[in-house]
C-alpha cells in the first residue's frame, strides 16, 4: 500500500546530474530533498541483477543510514544490437571518472566491431522509495528510441546526447529539462517523455499531489 510522502527525503545518489533531475521532478511538491552525497553517506555495492534490485539496495542503505525515507533511481540504456548492454553497467562504461563521452564512444565502437546496423535502444528507470522501517515501493518507466552518432547536444547528462526518443527529431541532449521530463497533470495529457519522469509520475500519483 503506497504511503503519503511529506517532509524531508534523501535522494540516494552521488551523481550530480541525476540529483539535478530528481530535484526538478520534486520541485512542484513540498518535499525537502538532500542527497546521500551531501550527507556523506557511503555508496553501497550494487550487486543486483536488475535495475529494481540495485535501486532497492541504494534506497535501503540511505534510509537505514539517515533515518529518513530515501528515494533511489537505478537506470541505464539498453542497446538492442549489444544484447542489452551497457544496461546495468551503464555508469561503469564511463570508467572511474564517469566520463560519458568515453562511454558513448565505447557504444559506437562496440557496434562497429560487430558490424551492427540495428540502432534501436531504450532507457529504463527503476525508482525505489524505502523507509527506515523496511517499507518499500517500486515504480518503473522506460522510453524507446534510436541511437545517434556523433552524439548531439550538451543538455541532460549521461547518454542523453546519443539517444533520440521515438517520434522526435532531437536527442535528449538537445532538449530542455522541461521538454525531457515535464509532467502534465491533466487527465488527457500524454505520457511524459523520459524514462525517469514516467517512473516518477507513477510514484507521484501514489505518494503525493502537486500544490494547488
Residue 43 CA from chain centroid, whole number: 17
- Name residues whose C-beta falls within 8 Å of residue 205's C-beta, 6 or more positions apart in sequence: none
Pairing of strands 7-11, 70-79: parallel
Counting Cα atoms < 13 Å in the Cβ hemisphere of 59 gives 27
Q: One of 73, 74, 99, 119 is an active-site residue; which one?
A: 74
Q: Which residues sit opposite 164 in a β-bridge?
A: 146
74 is catalytic: yes
Tell how far CA 205 is from the center of its chain. Answer: 18
What gap in Å lies between CA 211 and CA 185, rounded to an integer? 11
Label residue 54 exposed, middle or buried (CB < 10 Å: 0-12, 13-18, 19+): buried
**β-bridge pairing 31-35 and 120-130:** unpaired
Q: How far is CA 67 from the centre of its chain?
A: 23
Q: Reduced to 3 states, what is the DSSP secondary structure of residue 55? A: helix
How many angstroms separate the first and last alpha carbons of the chain? 25
Active-site residues, by number, are: 74
Amino acid at each position: 500500500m503506497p504511503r503519503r510522502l511529506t517532509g524531508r527525503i534523501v535522494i540516494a545518489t552521488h551523481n550530480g546530474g541525476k540529483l539535478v533531475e530528481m530535484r526538478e521532478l520534486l520541485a512542484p511538491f513540498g518535499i525537502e530533498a538532500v542527497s546521500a552525497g551531501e550527507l556523506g553517506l557511503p555508496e553501497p555495492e550494487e550487486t543486483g541483477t536488475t535495475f529494481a534490485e540495485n535501486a532497492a539496495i541504494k534506497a535501503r542503505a540511505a534510509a537505514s543510514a539517515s533515518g529518513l525515507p530515501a528515494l533511489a533511481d537505478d537506470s541505464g540504456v539498453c542497446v538492442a544490437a549489444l544484447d542489452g548492454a551497457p544496461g546495468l553497467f551503464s555508469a561503469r562504461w564511463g570508467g572511474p571518472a564517469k566520463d560519458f563521452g568515453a562511454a558513448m564512444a565505447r557504444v559506437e565502437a562496440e557496434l562497429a566491431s560487430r558490424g551492427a546496423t540495428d540502432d534501436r535502444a531504450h532507457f529504463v528507470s527503476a525508482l525505489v522509495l524505502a523507509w527506515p522501517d523496511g517499507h518499500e515501493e517500486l515504480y518503473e518507466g522506460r522510453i524507446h528510441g534510436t541511437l545517434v552518432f556523433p552524439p548531439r547536444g550538451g543538455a541532460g547528462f549521461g547518454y542523453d546526447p546519443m539517444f533520440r526518443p521515438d517520434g522526435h527529431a532531437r536527442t535528449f541532449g538537445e532538449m530542455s529539462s522541461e521538454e525531457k521530463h515535464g509532467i502534465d497533470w491533466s487527465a488527457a495529457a500524454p505520457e511524459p517523455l523520459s524514462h525517469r519522469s514516467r517512473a516518477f509520475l507513477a510514484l507521484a500519483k501514489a505518494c503525493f499531489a502537486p500544490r494547488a
